[in-house]
Amino acid sequence: MKVLAAMSGGVDSAVAAARAAEAGHDVTGIHLALSRNPQSYRSGARGCCTIEDSNDAQRAADVIGIPFYVWDLSERFHEDVVEDFMDEYAAGRTPNPCLRCNEKIKFAAVLDRALGLGFDAVATGHYAQLHTGPDGLIEMHRAVDHGKDQSYVLGVLTQEQLAHSMFPLGDSTKPDVRREAERRGLLVADKPDSHDICFVADGDNTGWLREKLGDRAPNDGGDIVEDGTGEVLGRHEGTYGFTIGQRKGLRIGTPAPDGKPRFVLDIEPVSGTVTVGPRERLAIDRIAGIRARWCGTVPSEPLHGTVQLRAHGDEHRAVVTVGVDDQVAIELLDPAYGIAPGQAAVIYDGTRVVGSATIAATERVAR
């Protein structure tokens, strides 16, 4: 096949490209220039938006012996990922920009362009597995290395996108990939993984949002109040600095009567009110999901499976019922804690990814 290998400049995408080429495919490497000003995003080896990363990807392509190009998708990335990130925080929600990037950029903008240029598939360094199911559809499953599994951030992919995707690392562990990179002479073999948001230069999300939101922030600050009593415990500079379940950085001077830590329970961006309380008040067992996306056939009956509610989070046993207008009702059989609107609920049947939905609301049903 003609394969377009998306090369971020890291070890995973380099080995994925090398494996695709070694398998006999006609591979072309591309690096995505996602920053309108590379100096304003990440620096060093911590992200995937720098000149250094582009150079690392170029050198890896040279070693593999494949053509290499840079595609400038900075405007599309800013509109679909960065602007979405700011808007969601301004509205009191907690987005996942990596998931949105996969949905809007890597497997939409890139894949559409690749197919238009005559490529058959896009290969990436994501840790996930693809198999053909008994019904002939392409199934996405968790990676062999569950510690590196990235199927959660790929849960937005449709059957059409999966049919033109390749994840060559799904059956490998990260140590194996690094050893293979060294054996192949790839200089990125020991390059550190990126963990933070690629477009936040210093990893300070709150500071970045404070600078970028400007007049779009719905308030310049507000009260931090005690759940139940409404007692004002402190002030804050903006609701965008908080997420549901947050414990650190609350800067509350008054200790709780029981001496236990407080957590963010609710964020009201219009009034600027942040409500805090004990951890047990974070428990939820009902989730309303919107903007459902399905990797294959839409479940016609309630699905007894599991859901993952944050990247690298635990799986929760659940019953998932599909409603109308891309709405999903999720009943958790065991309560989850600190689940924020805006995050994704990715639905699994065993190791198979069924689909995903954006969390719109949560609640705790008294038992």
Question: Which tokens hold the place of 118?
Answer: 């005559």
R_g (Cα) of the chain, nearest Å: 22
List the catalytic residue out of 48, 49, 98, 101.
101
List the catalytic residue out of 48, 49, 98, 198.
198
Distance in angstroms between the alpha carbons of the first and the last residue of the chain: 55
Burial 296-305 (b: 16+ CB within 10 A, else e): beebeeebeb
Adjacent-strand bridge partners of 275: 225, 266
Cβ count near 64 (within 10 Å):
23
Cβ count near 264 (within 10 Å):
23
- Total residue length of the chain: 367
Distance CA 300, CA 321 (A): 8
Residue type at 200? Answer: V
Distance CA 284, CA 45 (A): 38
Q: Provide the CB-side half-sphere exposure for 17 (13 A, CA).
A: 30
Burial (CB count <10 Å: 0-12, 13-18, 19+), residue 211: exposed
Adjacent-strand bridge partners of 93: none
Question: Which tokens hold the place of 8?
Answer: 């971020």
Whether residue 198 lies in the annotated active site? yes
Spatial CA neighbour of 274 closest among 283, 282, 266: 266
Whether residue 98 lies in the annotated active site? no
Q: Is 245 left (phi over 0), alpha (psi -120 to 50) or beta?
A: left
| Residues assigned a catalytic role | 101, 198
